[in-house]
Structure 1
């Protein structure tokens, strides 16, 4: 190694270490606290529709120390805030030397965000102490935690004695507001804003549809990696994007080359579907230097679009459509109303589904489940005092004879008894997610779709043993105009090798427009006359699709579809193998309306058992 390079690396380590103010050994991560934070946020009244996501590090523009400027560090900081889609918290907190304080800070900012539900009160920097005072008044149990945090945090703030006069006055005002948040913050004008306050929410949360303001700092955009942090984590913590209009093709780059240099650095055309670009490494390097990546939708009909369409099965090789499709509404939570006839659901049946026996590897489990489920059949009992039947009811005859002798007999005598079977009067519709995400591997031998297929086999074998009415459907989607609804077994259809052939033919593809599929399932199950109507959803992830049906939009539409099913007298229940499901399923199905299967391999065995528990 070149001696100069070796000396440079040593110097970089020394400067970076001297400028570092974090405590990596006491770090607490968002992933480790996500369930607890979600529970706290929703329990305090936070919007239950918000997911919990990592907030990227952003330039703050405050003054940094000389060492920090030399090291090129501390230009960006992670702050907490909530928007219409998510509660955004730091990816990790290592501000304090002990993990307990870092954990307390997570809980504190989550509580602040839960109470920040109104537009009343000041905005900007002044909202921090106002919201803090509000939280301390409403949450007495948080007062001791806040006092400990404030006491430990104040020494970590910039020293006013080392700041210019105007910035020192602003820093002293911030310190006073941290000590006594009941006093309004009067932030004096200064050349630079105060250093971000970790105990407050973001004073100016970024909007995803607008570009971010520049940092206004004089440091180099180089963030040294912290100890124990990978480059991927650093990249995820700071990178942000925005969607912009597609720039014009003839933007004057040849006519005004010097004026266009900045445009080239800010706009990178990374749509290279037809050929490899020898400058990809340069493009990646340029992208690394950007705080904000701008993405635009290219409406050209390019080879990439053609290649995507070629991935779709042709009409001759696709499943057979049944009819021209069904128009269904969709819930738009932003407008607070349904969009009528917004989605087209297309029922389909497998094109090549040869009748097939039960797969051999399921024989033993199926035999055991059938024996267990046969015990769920109602026991045949004698029904006494009937007007007709197979045998005379001696007790009823003696009562009738005594009443007639006393002159009290009246009406038609009911002197018979009959042995009749019970009636469970149950109907179940199972809706299986067949999206492309089920093509992932559970282990070296099976994919998620294979686990789902085996689960459907065993579920059908079990219910066939009880005689309960049941139907099986699968779904996937490619935008709202094409929601595929696969008919695997209808209610009036006998379970046999024909149904098994359709189950064997299922394959993953496309996306998960869950709300539309649930509405069709509600319609089909709602037509059944039964005392208990169970709507089971089997899935491996959140609702999503290509045309804005993602994040909160898809979650809220699915939640409304579940609500509509309950209003129709159905019992919706979700079975999932998504380990992150506890972040969003309580909002969709309620705390008792779902179960998470931690080990996907257990799903085939657990699914019939869950049915037995739900229909007891």
Structure 2
């Protein structure tokens, strides 16, 4: 009975202490597409993800009811870092749903014109608002509505403690008249959250501890890293890296330059805490507001050993061809192309032997070949030519009749035999990373679909007589980019090639930039007028070193730009349902297609090639 009454009391007092308007709440999922479009259309970084931000601890003064209810004051605020823009999970600060929606749009506009860095939070936000309103005068009415409604929703200044009134007055003035306030007093509590402004990221920019560094990277500049733990598909946890102390004591006086106050330190050994209980780990993460990683005092060797064991032994590995090829890689923070950064190793599939086309694909292959017949080189006669291989009897007869009636100038009396040759080369580059080992159903994996696609692609292009090559790629760090040769431009499509395709296996990671640069060099050596580079993948660029997130995306973008500069047309076919978040930046809006049903890929790949080359 006591527990039941206590539960009712908790629900009641929590609801009373909550100043938000539930009936007007707008969730991030409802506006995610709109705010993403606004963010990128007005100049926001096209690579950044736009996602929800989980609540963060915010040290402001509690009301009497909040103290009774035990409200932890987790506040979901708008902020961004180098990889993503985080907007509140939901907004219900206004009693008008349209205002809450407009606030999401306003925050996206602010973020599109700001780099995420602050020297003084309040002053910089005022300057940003002033610049936005000057740049986009049509937004002035929307901002005025939001500002007036927001100020009206805040606690009256005269009801605040005397020591906090000056700060609140400065906040109100800076909202109503942006740029009018230059000094903000120092107080013991942060002002109530200012939802009309962006907040700084709380992630610390610590360098990676030596025990997490790649052994091959010693002597080079340490890369900066950020750690985040995924709460859900749309919400991310706050993260920071700190020293590993025994105790944390002391008080903090609030300044606007340092908005966030308390966080709980969790000593976590990422080198050895590899629990297999995913459910327990997920529930623990849900309960944490911030994940804090500390530099370990003891050097962990186990993590390095696990990484090394990912590579197969020499007796089980594919067959290397030569000593490898050194390739550059784009460092987006330095904005330079670092020479000889990667080592690409050409390889042949192990135990590949000549194989016929599988019986299950033969019927489909004949149908595709029939569709490609119309792309064959067509030979035809040009009539009424001044010179040619044969006399054009029809033109001669017309001239003879006209000359009997009236003097006529001699016209073309010959016909010439011409051929319409398809002068193009195509290189198909297939992603063979470990993610292709995933099962689509009980019988098929992604790698099986990729194999069928390559086989049918080869049958189709052989029937039309086009010049083509096929390669696969995967990677384990920058010194082991594996480039699997399935068919080069100088060999025919035979049973030996079919055998190589049927011998491929899921590889490792996806260092796409290096593979595209090598494919670009290969196809650029062809003498064809048109050159098409098809990239078949199931995910975004990644690797187990620093080649994650923005680094991999920017390097791949640079490699694609290099290919386009050489007159090569890159086109991407992917089965990644999240591809819309990064492929438009890499290939352009018309440079890729998403196959929503992977099992359709074997049929769709030849059809896409037909569409790309039939014009």
| TM-score bin (small chain) | 0.7 to 0.9
Closer/same/farther in 2, CA of residues 276 and 545 from structure 1, 3 Å limit:
closer
Q: CA deviation at 1:333?
A: 1.2
Q: Which residue in the other structure is 2:221 paired with?
A: none
The answer to whether the 8 Å contact 1:122/1:130 transfers is no
Instruction: Note the 1:98-113 alignment, pairs <5 A.
Output: 98-113=96-111
Q: Does 1:543 align with 2:541?
A: yes
Structure 2 Cα separation of the partners of residues 185 and 319 of structure 1? 66
CA drift at 1:50: 2.6
Q: 1:189 to 1:310 in 2, by over 3 A?
A: closer
Identify the residue that residue 429 of structure 2 maps to in structure 1.
431
The residue aligned with 1:479 is 477
Specify the alignment match of 2:226 in structure 1. none
Determine the C-alpha separation between the residues in 2 that align with 1:387 and 1:441. 63
CA distance in 1, matches of 2:24, 2:517: 48
Partner of 1:208: 204
CA contact (8 A) 2:45 2:112 kept: yes
Deviation track 1:190-234 (CA, whole Å, cap 9, x = no partner) reads 2222112111111x43243259xxxxxxxxxxxxxxxxxxx9859
* Partner Cα separation in structure 2 for residue 39 and residue 276 of structure 1: 39
- Using the alignment, how far apart are the partners of 2:281 and 2:585 within structure 1? 44
Query: What is the deviation of 1:478?
Result: 0.6
Counterpart for residue 172 of structure 2: 175
Relative to structure 1, is the Cα distance of residues 152 and 232 closer, same or farther in structure 2, using a 3 angstrom cutoff? farther
Q: Distance between the aligned counterparts of 1:525 and 1:200, measured in 2?
A: 50
Q: Deviation at 1:536?
A: 1.1
The one of 109, 126, 131 aligned to 2:128: 131
For 1:515 and 1:38, how far apart are their aligned partners in 2?
26
Q: Which residue of 2 aligns with 1:33?
A: 31
Structure 1 residues 106, 286: closer, same or farther in 2, change over 3 A? closer
Q: Which residue of structure 2 aligns with residue 337 of structure 1?
A: 336
Alpha carbons 2:203, 2:238 under 8 Å: kept: no
Q: CA deviation at 1:562?
A: 0.6
TM-align CA RMSD: 3.8
Question: Whole-Å Cα distance in 1 between the matches of residues 570 and 141 of structure 2?
Answer: 43
Sort the Cα spacing of 1:362 and 1:98 in 2 relative to 1 into closer, same or farther, 3 A.
farther
Aligned-pair distance for 1:170? 1.6
Offset of residue 502 of structure 1: 1.8
**Distance apart, 1:168 and its partner CA:** 2.2
Counterpart of 1:491 in structure 2 is 489
Q: 1:6 to 1:234 in 2, by over 3 A?
A: farther
Query: How many residues are aligned here?
Result: 573
TM-score normalised by the chain length of structure 1? 0.82
CA distance in 1, matches of 2:6, 2:233: 23
* Aligned position for 1:9: 7
Matched, 1:91 2:70: no
Query: Within 1, Cα distance between the matches of 2:436 and 2:94?
Result: 42
Distance change >3 Å, CA 177–CA 584, structure 1 → 2: same
Whole-angstrom distance in 1 between the partners of 2:488 and 2:424: 15
Structure 1 match to 2:368: 369
> What is the alpha-carbon distance in structure 2 between the residues aligned to residue 345 and residue 611 of structure 1?
27
Query: Given the superposition, is the C-alpha separation of residues 36 and 491 from structure 1 closer, same or farther in structure 2, using an over 3 Å criterion?
Result: farther
Aligned positions of 1:567-606 closer than 5 A: 567-606=565-604
Secondary structure of residue in 2 paired with 1:181: coil
CA contact (8 A) 1:38 1:583 kept: no
The answer to whether the 8 A contact 2:231-2:237 is kept is no
1:398: how far off? 9.2
The change in CA–CA distance for 1:463 and 1:22 in structure 2 (over 3 A counts) is farther
Tell me the secondary structure at the aligned position of residue 582 of structure 1: helix
Q: Distance in 2 between matches of 1:52 and 1:298?
A: 36
Task: Give the CA deviation at 1:134.
Answer: 1.9
Query: Unpaired segments of 5 or more residues in structure 2?
Result: 208-228, 250-262
SS in 2 for 1:563: helix
| Deviation at residue 306 of structure 1 after TM alignment | 3.3
| Offset from partner CA, 1:79-135 (integer Å, 9 cap, x none) | 22233332222233343445433322221111011122598x973212223222221
Q: What aligned pairs does 1:182-197 form with structure 2 within 5 A after superposition?
A: 182-184=179-181, 186-197=183-194
CA contact (8 A) 1:18 1:67 kept: yes
Choose the corresponding residue for 1:46, options 40, 44, 51: 44
* 1:215 aligned partner: none
Q: Which residue of 2 aligns with 1:507?
A: 505
- How far apart are the structure 2 equivalents of 1:424 and 1:172? 73
Contact 2:347 2:485 in 1 (8 A): yes
Aligned equivalents of 2:236 and 2:579: distance in 1? Answer: 26
Provide the secondary structure at the position in 2 that maps to 1:375: helix
Alignment CA distance shift 1:24-1:363 (3 Å): farther
1:346 counterpart = 2:345? yes
